[in-house]
Structure 1
């Protein structure tokens, strides 16, 4: 699933390509991808001008004039991009937007888990999902970050993945930042030392920023706004590396289930609290 760095990369790539342009036509090839009224979508989008392209959590937001907002949640395999002029929509293209200069933007999603919605500003602010998002990890202060975790008894990785607690982090960047900070993902947050929490704060910022600079992480489906793959997967320390040697100590990396997700950990560098030693391995 595209996480914060991938969606941020898409937003930054799209912005110079569509900013200030008017949408003149929308084509709905699969209406199930819409989480909004179809008639409203088709009636109100044509003639709208793009005023900004941004990200909030894992949402791609295209701001339009007249205080309207086009929202995309990419979920597992969604892609919003500007294809080459000669490209034709394939079976996974569900929405097609045509701009006044002939530029076209495709929303494709192989598994159809993603969605698109159109909101006015009051509707966006009152949308339960949007209103419930936690703070942005690249904007929150160190003090605020530590304060999010110190009172919580939940396992720290579960909190990192909880979009209501802190927004935009998924499995990749949770595993990488916890390893960099030397924290076992099953450790209750209120049992992590202040020193480790501060280290996690800076580790998370570092790994997110580095991934954005590398264009995100690509596996099967993720591509940026122009169809290019990200490169950060080449820099993974532990994610997806069960059975490999730890890059710090040469211990064998292990996998556990935390909050329903696979977690790759080093049993030497990320010590588990003794009370949790009975946790089931994957």
Structure 2
């Protein structure tokens, strides 16, 4: 699933491509992936800017409306040139001035989109309950938020109501960087160590954004390009390979319902 750096990269690329452009026509949409609003209201609207909240991609329109996409596992939003063939699993096509097309595709159909007015999106329970943005908070504030709950630290990092936008990749990488075992109870981790974890998380997120995100299989940015941060992974997806710090074989186990790769020697269990 695209996480914060991947969706941020898509948002920045789309903003460059579509800001100020008017939607001429909605050519196609799949009703089953529509969560709110009426695509028939989109023609005539102008795209004012594109942003991200958590793992949501937000295309803002004049008159305060917002076209929101959740990409889930395999969703993509990109701009196709005139005459370019549509992918097989295309679920929304918005033709723009100049005849470029804003495309939403998703092979598995887990992703979805909705059209929300300014009050509607704030009233959406999923949006309402999102936690703070990791890059818009201090490491100290994030550390206090993690320590306030009696739950596993990996579970809390993945919980979108605690921190917004973090998934398995960046949870595993930041826990390794801070040398914290993913099965640790957050409240048992000393405050200074939690601050270190959140500082490492912020550093890794910024580095991943600079690298265009991580491409494991399906992720592409707004230009159709892969990210390269996967080349910098220290532990994610590297079960059995030597730990980059001590050389011991990395271990993978199910923690918080996800495969968690870690070093049993370097990462302390609290």
Q: TM-score range by the shorter chain?
A: over 0.9
Which ranges in structure 2 are unaligned for 5 or more consecutive residues? none
Residues 81 and 99, structure 2, Cα contact 8 Å, conserved in 1: no
Within 5 Å, which residues of 2 pair with 1:203-242? 203-242=200-239
Within 5 Å, which residues of 2 pair with 1:50-199? 50-199=47-196
Corresponding residue for residue 27 of structure 2 = 27
Structure 2: how far apart are the matches of 1:85 and 1:5? 29
1:71-98 per-position Cα deviation (integer Å, ceiling 9, x unaligned): 0000000000012433111211111111
Report how many aligned residue pairs link the two structures: 270
Residues 83 and 227, structure 1, Cα contact 8 Å, conserved in 2: no
1:116-159 per-position Cα deviation (integer Å, ceiling 9, x unaligned): 10000000001000010000001111221121022221000100
Runs of 4+ with deviation above 6 angstroms: none
Residues 6 and 224, structure 1, Cα contact 8 Å, conserved in 2: yes
TM-score by length of 2: 0.98
Q: Measure how far apart 1:219 and its partner are.
A: 1.7
Structure 2: how far apart are the matches of 1:200 and 1:272? 14
SS, match of residue 175 in structure 1: helix
Residues 144 and 191, structure 2, Cα contact 8 Å, conserved in 1: no
Structure 2: how far apart are the matches of 1:255 and 1:27? 45
Q: Measure how far apart 1:30 and its partner are.
A: 2.1
TM-score by length of 1: 0.94
Which ranges in structure 1 are unaligned for 5 or more consecutive residues? 274-282
Structure 1: how far apart are the matches of 2:132 and 2:214? 22
Residues 24 and 99, structure 1, Cα contact 8 Å, conserved in 2: yes
Structure 2: how far apart are the matches of 1:219 and 1:83? 23
1:96-121 per-position Cα deviation (integer Å, ceiling 9, x unaligned): 11111212111010100000100000
Corresponding residue for residue 263 of structure 2 = 266
Residues 146 and 162, structure 2, Cα contact 8 Å, conserved in 1: no
SS, match of residue 138 in structure 1: helix
SS, match of residue 66 in structure 1: helix
Structure 2: how far apart are the matches of 1:204 and 1:11? 20
CA RMSD across the alignment: 1.0
